[in-house]
Amino acid sequence: KSLLRLRIYWKDDYLRWDPLEYGNLTSLWLPATTVWFPDIVVYEEIGSATYAPRVPYVFVRSDGTVGFLQPTAYETTCSINIAFFPFDRQVCTMKFTSWTFPTSKVDLMTRRSSKQIKADIPTYFVSSGEWTLEDITVNFNTFSCEDDDISSLVRYFILILLHKKFGSLHSMLFPAILLTTISLLGFYLPPDSGERIGLQITIMLTFMVFLLTVGDMFPASTGPYLGVYFVLCMA
């Protein structure tokens, strides 16, 4: 889920006027329902949150520039690979395009470059408890439907996300390393001492309880290598 501050600007020749003829009026606000809107959608979207506030007005300048500022919540899909969890690095894309208008009618452009957007990450990006945004790039591509020759322009926002490692390290990896170290040190005990067998049984039971505890922390997907490490530790 992504909470975005969406800013869309476009030109509308029907909303152009001469400020000298209207008392030097250079800008105004109009109800959003009275002007034309570009039908910009996100390809990966699976649903919009209902708590995103709807801004009822648009900003119009005398040269025909229309601006729409809207806080928006997007729920999108992303194919991830958690084999290296919690050291994984995921690449997700958000594709913005016009759903009905071809490139001859609507040309999508970004007002800032990838370098400028990346510089704003510390200012505007609010990290979640699990992920942090490492990089963001902007690209574009055109596609056409199989049934016709109409092509549309797609703007790609490529997001590179990193798992926050500290929480996973101190709750999963460090305890596993500690238990493995104690288990190896147990082999230095004399074979004929009863403490050696008791220690290994205690460590095995501790590992079983530990796996039950951290099982819910693993992503619900293909098991990561960290899970294989836990199994080898018990072996």
CATH topology of domain 2-165: Acetylcholine Binding Protein; Chain: A, (2.70.170)
Q: Where are the domains positioned within the chain?
A: 2-165, 166-234
Q: Exposed, middle or buried: residue 60 (CB in 10 Å: 0-12, 13-18, 19+)?
A: buried
Which range among 58-72, 99-113, 128-142, 194-208 has the greatest average pLDDT? 58-72
| pLDDT tens readout for residues 58-99 | 899 999 899 888 877 777 777 777 777 777 777 888 888 777
What pLDDT is attached to residue 226? 66
What percentage of the chain has pLDDT greater than the value 70? 72
Give 161's pLDDT tier (boundaries 50, 70, 90).
confident
Q: Which residue has the tokens 């991830």?
A: 80
**Could you tell me the two tokens for 175?**
């305890």
What pLDDT is attached to residue 234? 63
What pLDDT is attached to residue 149? 56
CA 115/CA 117 separation, integer angstroms? 5
